[in-house]
Amino acid sequence: KKLKAFNSNSTLFKLEENTVIPNPDILNNFKSFDSYQLNDADFNSLINKDSKSNFSIIIVNRLLQNNYFSRRLSDKHIVISIFDMDKLSIHEGITLEMYITRFIYGFVSVYRCFNNSLPSNEIVSQFELFQNDVKGCLFDFCIYKPQVAMFFREPKISPEALVKLRTKSLPAGFIEALNKEILKLKISRYYKIKDWLKANPVKAILLTFLVGLIFSELLGNLIYDLILAFKP
C-alpha cells in the first residue's frame, strides 16, 4: 500500500493488484532462511500466469540467484529482493518504497524499449542500456548495496544511457517523464550532510569547533554591546 501511494502520481506506470504471501512454500524446506539463495525456478509456484497486468513484480526478503538485487523471471515477471537492506543504512533517507521504485523504473524502461515485453537477460545485455561503470545512473549495473545508494544522491540518466534510449521507439514524452519522475527518489539535503559527516569525522569535528568558536565570539560581542547599550 505504501508503494502504491508513493507512486500514485506516476505517468509511466500504475501499480494495480497486490497479494501478500506471508509464508510461501518455497521457504518451508529450509532451516536457515536468511542464508538460503532463491533460484529463478523457485518462484514458479508464486507466478500468477492469469494476471491481467503488463508484468508482475515479486518482492522478497531473501537472497536471489547469483546475489542479484533484481532479476527477470519470465517475459511477464520480475523479482526484486530487499534482503540486507541494512547495508544501505550508511546512506540514510532511502526508504523501501524508494529502493523498490528505482528498479521498477528500470524494468518499465526495458519493457517499453522492447515493444512492451521483458526480453531475456542476454538480449538486454546486448542492448547495452545497463552500464558497468557506477555513476549514480538509473541504469548502473551495481554489485554492492552502497553502489545502489549512489543513485539516490542525484538521481539521473547518464548521457550514454540517454543515447541508447533514444534509439528505441518509446511513447511520446517517455524520456522526459522518466527524467522528471526519478527526481522524487532523491534523498534530502539533511541526509546528504549526515552522510558527509559520517564519512569525514575529523573534518566534521574541526568544522563544528570552528562554527562554535565563530558563533560564541559573535554572541559574546552581541551581549557585550547590549550591556553597553543599556548601561546607565
Residues 43, 26 contacting (CB under 8 angstroms): yes
Per DSSP (E only), the strands in 55-188 are 56-60, 63-64, 70-74, 77-81
C-alpha cell of 15? 501499480
Q: What b/e string do you get for 106-123 counting C-beta neighbours within 10 Å, with b at 16 or more?
A: bbbbbbbbeeeebbeeee
Sheet holding 77-81, edge to edge: 56-60, 77-81, 70-74
Residue 190 has what pLDDT?
A: 47
Q: In order along the chain (232 residues), what is the average pLDDT of each group of 10 residues?
A: 92 87 70 68 78 87 84 90 75 84 95 92 86 90 84 92 94 96 82 58 62 56 53 52
The length of the chain in residues reads 232
Please tell me the distance from the alpha carbon of residue 151 to that of residue 165, in angstroms, as a whole number: 18
Whole-angstrom distance, CA of residue 62 vs CA of residue 82: 7
- Residue with the three cell numbers 497486468: 53
Q: What is the pLDDT of residue 208?
A: 64
Which residues lie closer than 8 Å to 176 by C-beta, 6 or more apart? Answer: none
Residues 6+ apart with CB under 8 A from 75: 55, 117, 118, 119
**Beta-carbon neighbour count of residue 189 at 10 Å?**
9
- Report the SS3 class of residue 210: helix
